């Protein structure tokens, strides 16, 4: 490769904006219903949304109440070749319809049931399609698996960064060491252990990581959410996500009533605010419909969380608007640091006024933090840790199925509940790609409407030939 071609490639790699990404953003904004085209809406202005896989490895080796998997999920064989093939096809659809860059979840059942080599190969496939992948796990994972994931058979590092979402809550049964958690606090040692495993990856192998913490909320544990936020916030997770339970998946595992004012979005968000020690303004930055998603961005200094932006300050809202306008194509997570520096420099060269915007935001943030907290931070040699709070409200399958059927026929529901469901589906932040039709499907449709038939078909395609179980140590293993 000649010098000129190298320079051209470097120029393309450090371009602040990608014409294809810009076009994808414009399509995304045009597709949104008017109800969510708000000043704080990030879809179509900063990102295209989140993505996920489906029908790749539906089996799981824990039992949860509720369980969002269909009845046939654990009757499907985990097959690495099938996973790689299907993920490649699905990412192709997402790449074509959603543009060159997005966050995508490697999700199905339990991701660590995939052999480490197949898991790593699948993550690399997702990255080849411009996706930043996150592996979804129940967190019952060991160091040996992670080593074999990030290192190839030759012992060399094949993954330089990984993202994992660990799901921990007291409604999950079968975890090693604590098969039936009595409460959320009893899981804190397992949450810390999860973070510690990835800290070890960084020390021993130089692998960076981003970790999210997921928790399903029911009447049985809603009163513990605030304590979970207080305890888990400083542990090292980059995101704390809480999902009020919905009637989706295997109805044999729906025990009790998941509804009521005490587990509604306002009540759960109030619990998160109590744990964070302050009001959390989820209208500053919105990701789709706030009836589905509420998000608050900020950072911890020590044990205290601070918001990135103050929704009551017009200057902070102007900062948000400047970020939407000029930094949406950067790709912060996936861009190597040298290229990121050049991208930002090119943005500043074109829009030098951004320096004043950034300086003003920094000064206001430092004032909010206060001199005493800053001095403690300097003395302890600790850095601010970005942590995002999220609440995601899934929808019941009983509402999604008729609402989606009407949308497919081009009909708008008269029933208020179904119309709300249609509006939320139209603004969905989280979608799956379907290679057979070349279309995108909202996640609530995938899980509530399509998964049962898909997993029944997978049961025939990938039957479990042998189901003998042996007991090894403290864990039951399928052989």
Confidence (pLDDT) at 369: 92
The strand pairing partners of 297, in sequence order, are 388
Residue 410: pLDDT band with limits 50, 70, 90: very high
The strand pairing partners of 173, in sequence order, are 63
Mean pLDDT to the nearest integer, 337-348: 89
Q: What is the DSSP letter of 328?
A: T
Confidence (pLDDT) at 215: 98
pLDDT of 135 strictly over 80: yes
Q: Which candidate, 100, 116, 99, 111, places its Cα nearest to that of 159?
A: 116
Is-cis flag, bond preceding 39, omega within 30?
A: no
Residue 101, both tokens: 């860059």
Query: Which of 65 and 120 is assigned the larger pLDDT?
Result: 120
- Cα–Cα distance measured from residue 162 to residue 396, given in angstroms and rounded to the nearest whole number: 32
Mean pLDDT of the chain: 92
The strand pairing partners of 134, in sequence order, are 105
212-264 tens-digit pLDDT: 999 999 999 999 999 999 999 999 999 999 999 999 988 888 877 888 778 99
Residue 340: pLDDT band with limits 50, 70, 90: confident
Q: What is the dihedral of CA 180, 181, 187, 191, to 10 degrees?
A: 30
pLDDT of 377 strictly over 50: yes
Confidence (pLDDT) at 247: 92
Q: Are 293 and 429 in contact (CB under 8 A)?
A: yes
The strand pairing partners of 434, in sequence order, are 439
Q: Are strands 293-301 and 304-307 parallel, antiparallel or unpaired?
A: antiparallel
Mean pLDDT to the nearest integer, 101-119: 96
Query: Which of 303 and 174 is assigned the larger pLDDT?
Result: 174
Q: Are 75 and 464 in contact (CB under 8 A)?
A: yes
Q: Are 276 and 233 in contact (CB under 8 A)?
A: yes
DSSP letter string, 349-376: HH-THHHHHHHHHHHHHHHHH-HHHHHH
Classify 31 as helix, strand or coil: helix
Instruction: Tell me which residue has tokens 């990856």.
Output: 201
pLDDT of 478 strictly over 60: no
- Which CATH number fits the domain 49-316+384-394+428-478, given the four candidates 3.40.50, 3.30.1220, 3.30.1490, 3.20.20? 3.20.20
Q: Which residues contact 120 (CB under 8 A, 6 or more apart)?
A: 149, 150, 152, 158, 159
- Cα–Cα distance measured from residue 444 to residue 449, given in angstroms and rounded to the nearest whole number: 8
Confidence (pLDDT) at 251: 85
Half-sphere exposure of 12 (CA within 13 A, CB side): 7
User: What ranges do the domains of the chain cover?
Assistant: 49-316+384-394+428-478
Instruction: Tell me which residue has tokens 């602040």.
Output: 16
Confidence (pLDDT) at 1: 66
398-433 core/surface letters (b: 16 or more CB in 10 A; e: else)? ebbbbbbebbeeeeebeeeebebbbbbbbbbbbbbb
Query: Which of 9 and 25 is assigned the larger pLDDT?
Result: 25
pLDDT of 470 strictly over 80: no
Query: pTM value?
Result: 0.93
Confidence (pLDDT) at 466: 57
Confidence (pLDDT) at 465: 76
pLDDT of 473 strictly over 70: no
Q: Which candidate, 110, 102, 202, places its Cα nearest to that of 162?
A: 202
Q: What is the DSSP letter of 386?
A: E
Length of the chain: 479
Confidence (pLDDT) at 125: 98
Residue 142, both tokens: 């060991």
Query: Which of 314 and 334 is assigned the larger pLDDT?
Result: 314
Confidence (pLDDT) at 475: 47
């Amino acid at each position: 490769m000649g010098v000129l071609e190298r320079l051209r490639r470097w120029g393309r790699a450090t371009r602040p904006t990608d014409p294809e990404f810009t076009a994808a953003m414009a399509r995304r904004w045009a597709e949104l219903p008017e109800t969510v085209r708000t000043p704080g809406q990030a879809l179509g202005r900063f990102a295209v949304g989140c993505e996920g896989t489906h029908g790749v490895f539906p089996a799981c080796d824990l039992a949860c109440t509720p369980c969002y998997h269909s009845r046939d999920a654990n009757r499907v064989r985990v097959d690495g070749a099938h996973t790689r093939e299907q993920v490649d096809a699905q990412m192709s659809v997402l790449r074509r319809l959603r543009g060159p860059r997005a966050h995508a979840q490697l999700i199905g059942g339990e991701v660590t049931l995939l052999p480490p080599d197949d898991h790593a190969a699948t993550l690399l496939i997702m990255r080849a399609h411009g996706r930043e992948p996150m592996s979804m796990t129940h967190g019952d994972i060991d160091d040996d698996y992670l080593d074999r994931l990030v290192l190839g058979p030759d012992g060399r590092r094949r993954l330089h960064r990984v993202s994992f979402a660990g799901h921990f809550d007291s409604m999950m049964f079968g975890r090693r060491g604590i098969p039936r958690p009595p409460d959320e606090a009893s899981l804190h040692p397992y949450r810390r252990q999860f973070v510690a495993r990835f800290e070890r990856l960084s020390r021993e192998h130089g692998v960076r990581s981003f970790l999210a913490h997921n928790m399903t909320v029911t009447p049985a544990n809603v009163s513990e959410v605030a304590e979970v936020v207080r305890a888990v916030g400083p542990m090292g997770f980059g995101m704390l996500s809480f999902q009020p339970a919905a009637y989706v998946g295997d109805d044999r595992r729906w025990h009790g009533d998941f509804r009521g004012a005490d587990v509604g979005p306002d009540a759960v968000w109030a619990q998160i605010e109590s744990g964070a020690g302050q009001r959390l303004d989820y209208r500053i930055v919105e990701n789709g419909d706030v009836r589905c998603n509420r998000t608050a961005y900020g950072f911890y200094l020590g044990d205290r969380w601070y918001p990135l932006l103050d929704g009551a300050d017009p200057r902070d809202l102007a900062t948000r608007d400047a970020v939407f306008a000029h930094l949406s194509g950067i790709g912060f997570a996936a861009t190597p640091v040298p290229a990121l520096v050049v991208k930002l420099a090119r943005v500043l060269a074109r829009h030098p006024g951004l320096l004043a915007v950034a300086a003003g935001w920094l000064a206001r943030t430092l004032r909010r933090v206060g001199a005493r907290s800053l001095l403690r931070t300097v003395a302890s040699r600790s850095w601010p840790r970005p942590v995002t709070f999220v609440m995601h409200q899934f929808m019941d399958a009983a509402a999604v199925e008729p609402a989606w059927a009407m949308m497919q026929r081009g009909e708008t529901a008269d029933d208020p509940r179904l119309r709300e469901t249609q509006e939320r589906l139209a603004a969905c932040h989280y979608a799956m790609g379907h290679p057979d039709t070349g279309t995108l499907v909202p996640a609530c449709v995938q899980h509530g409407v399509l998964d049962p038939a898909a997993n029944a078909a997978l049961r025939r395609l990938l039957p479990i030939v042998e189901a003998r179980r042996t007991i090894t140590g403290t864990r039951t293993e399928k052989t």
